[in-house]
Amino acid sequence: MGVDREAGAAAGSPSGTDPQGGSEALRQERLAKRDRLRTRGVDPYPARFDRTATAAELHERHAGLAPDTRTGEIAAVAGRIAAIRGHGQLVFATLQDASGAVQLLVQRTGLADAAAAVVESWDLGDWVGAVGEVVTSRRGELSVEPSEVMMLSKAVRPLPDKWHGLNDPDTRYRQREVDLVANRDTRRVFDIRFAAVAALRRAMEAEGFVEVETPILQPQAGGALARPFFTHANALDIDLSLRIAPELYLKRLVVGGYERVFEIGRNFRNEGVDTRHSPEFTALEAYQAFADFRDGMDLTERLLVAAADAATGRRTFTSGERVVDLTPPWPRVDLLDEVEALVGRRLHPGDPRADVAAVCAELGMEVQPEWGSGKLIFELYDAVLLPHITRPTFVCGFPVEVSPLSRHSADDPAIADRFELVIDGREFVNGYSELNVPEEQEARFRAEIAAAARGDLEAHPGDLAFVRALEYGLPPTSGIGIGIDRLVMLLAEVSSIRDVILFPMLRPEAGPPA
């Protein structure tokens, strides 16, 4: 919602003010108006207001009225003042609420002293309540002609005007509350986010999944290969990690008899920050018993299409200069086949490390000495193959070396029954058939522990409590993890992950807030 530049002058605001709303002179002027309200017995911050109708409800009930019509309906409306026009005894104000806008047609004559004081002191951005008859103006605009006007919250900082808006990215992210008011597109993005998440929940429940909650503070962060954040619990005198994924706890619930579980929540990874990565992000993880990775791909396809349909009503989106079509079915390709097509030779996790490393060197890739052939092939996939995949594609068959929690293929013990959904060169979903053999899982954990000892900061910790849970029996299980933020980036057609996180992580402000 922008505000009317001309209305600022009508309300007593000087022209040419700071478009970011930082004018101290304007702030002091508004503080003085607030003081005058209190002097006249008006509380500028009352405890409540009984609204009887939203702007959208009034427009729905009274659509198509002729100009200069009186309906006889008395309505109590509330919202922010978005524009003020007129002088003297007749004042027009636009009242904006979450559903839309309605005009206030204010006849100063006959207003009680308190209501008159509010009209004399209101500014753009103030929260106001009004009670009066629903009418149409001479120009046919639906309006409320108030007999009572209340100040609900005096805004002592002026909002950005609709001409300049709020354009500085750092200010937009740091003051999201102002960004949401000043920039309609920001509101559009988060409306899409909320609708998509709600649709995912409905779809999961329709599929028979139960939503659960698992620990965010964990003795050791497992379920993914990533660097965790660490903290300390004073009461228990133990070190803890913020979770990097809820996977191991969710699978323990499947062991406990919940055959279909999911969780939508925040994960934390102490890694880089860029347009696609945030240290704090949201994911949906789901596990279903008696299923494999193919069922996971089927479920993924249904979920993302349901989210797109509910949040946007379409399945075609623009990402940069490309068009992405989510219409199913999506192709399923083999990772080793696709890498071979790009590098010109067949590679396999069982190949001598030197041979795979030589291919990486030919492509100018930097590699670490502790990486085995499987990890090198994964890095080739990440650097060479993934950027070339634009349409939604399931890439299947990852090396076991980089899939410590995945079941290996029945045809090849070096390859995991694992997939990634890639769209526009980015991973959106990771999923696999879950490893449920306790001894094999313990052996893989011990290999990860050895990798960590060699300096691998992303090695998976050895979780013996999870191994113990597997000894009670985990049925054949499929699991998926969906990156909610990246999905919303696609659906809202924005290029930065910060644009889809309400309050993204930022460096602290250099000084006190202005």
Please name every residue paired with 41 in a beta bridge, in sequence order, or none if there are none. Answer: none
- Do 216 and 294 fall into the same domain? yes
Residue 346 included in any domain? no
Q: Is residue 451 part of a domain?
A: yes
> In what helix (H) or strand (E) does residue 315 lie, and over which residues does it extend?
none
In a domain, 463, yes or no: yes
Q: Say how far residue 186 (Cα) sits from the centre of its chain.
A: 12
Domain that holds residue 243: 183-331+391-500
For residues 167 and 188, state if they share a domain: no
Say if residue 159 is in the same domain as residue 296: no
pLDDT: which is higher, 514 or 418: 418
For strands 210-211 and 260-268, give the pairing.
Answer: parallel
**Mean pLDDT value across residues 412-429:** 97
CA neighbours within 13 Å on the CB side: how many for 56? Answer: 4
Q: What is the pLDDT of residue 274?
A: 83
pLDDT tens digit sequence for 375-413? 999 999 999 999 999 999 999 999 999 999 999 999 999
pLDDT at residue 509, as a whole number: 81
Same domain as 218, residue 307: yes
Q: Say if residue 41 is in the same domain as residue 136.
A: yes
CATH code at position 216:
3.30.930.10
> pLDDT at position 2, please?
40
Q: What is the DSSP string of 326-342?
A: -PSPPPEEEHHHHHHHH
Residue 490 Ramachandran class (φ > 0 left, ψ -120 to 50 alpha, else beta): alpha
Q: In what order do the strands lie in the sheet with 477-483?
A: 210-211, 260-268, 280-289, 477-483, 426-433, 415-423, 393-399, 332-334
Which pLDDT score, from 0 to 100, does residue 268 have?
Answer: 94
Inside any domain, residue 511 = no
Percentage of residues in the chain having pLDDT higher than 70: 93
- Shared-domain flag, residues 158 and 203: no
391: number of Cβ within 10 Å: 15
pLDDT for 164 equals 58
DSSP 161-223: PTTT----HHHHHHTHHHHHHH-HHHHHHHHHHHHHHHHHHHHHHHTT-EE----SEESS--S
How many domains are contained in the chain?
2
Q: Indicate the average pLDDT of the chain.
A: 91
Domain end position, chosen among 139, 172, 205:
172
CATH of the domain at 117: 2.40.50.140
Last residue of a domain, one of 146, 172, 198: 172
Task: Please identify, among 148, 172, 196, the residue that sits at the C-terminal boundary of a domain.
Answer: 172
Per-residue pLDDT, 162: 61
Rounded distance between C-alpha atoms, residue 264 and residue 283, angstroms? 6
Strands (E), 354-436: 393-399, 415-423, 426-433
Examine residue 345 and state whether it is found in any structural domain, yes or no: no
Q: Answer yes or no: do 166 and 224 share one domain.
A: no
Would you say residue 336 lies in a domain? Answer: no
Residues 428 and 457: beta-carbon distance below 8 Å: no
- Which of the four pLDDT bands, split at 50, 70 and 90, describes residue 104? very high
CA–CA gap between residue 265 and residue 160 (Å, rounded): 33
Q: Give tens-digit pLDDT for 27-52.
A: 999 999 999 999 999 999 999 999 99
Within 8 A by CB and 6+ apart from 21, the residues are 157, 158, 159, 160, 178
Q: Over range 508-513, report the average pLDDT.
A: 75
Rounded to whole angstroms, what are the CA distances from 457 to 244, 289, 295?
13, 32, 32
Which residues face 83 on adjacent strands? Answer: 94
User: Where does the pLDDT of residue 225 fall: very low under 50, low under 70, confident under 90, or very high at 90 and above?
Assistant: confident
- 474 in any annotated domain: yes
Residues 199, 165 within the same domain: no
Mean pLDDT within 62-75: 96
Q: Are residues 43 and 122 in the same domain?
A: yes
Mean local confidence (pLDDT), 211-219: 95
Mean pLDDT of 439-466: 83
Q: Which pLDDT score is estimated for 206?
A: 98
55: in domain: yes
Residues 297 and 408 in one domain: yes
Mean pLDDT (whole number) for 280-307: 98
Q: Residue 371 corresponds to which tokens in the numbers above?
A: 């990486």
10 and 143 together in one domain: yes
**319-336 confidence digits (pLDDT tens):** 988 999 999 999 999 999
Q: Are residues 160 and 210 in the same domain?
A: no
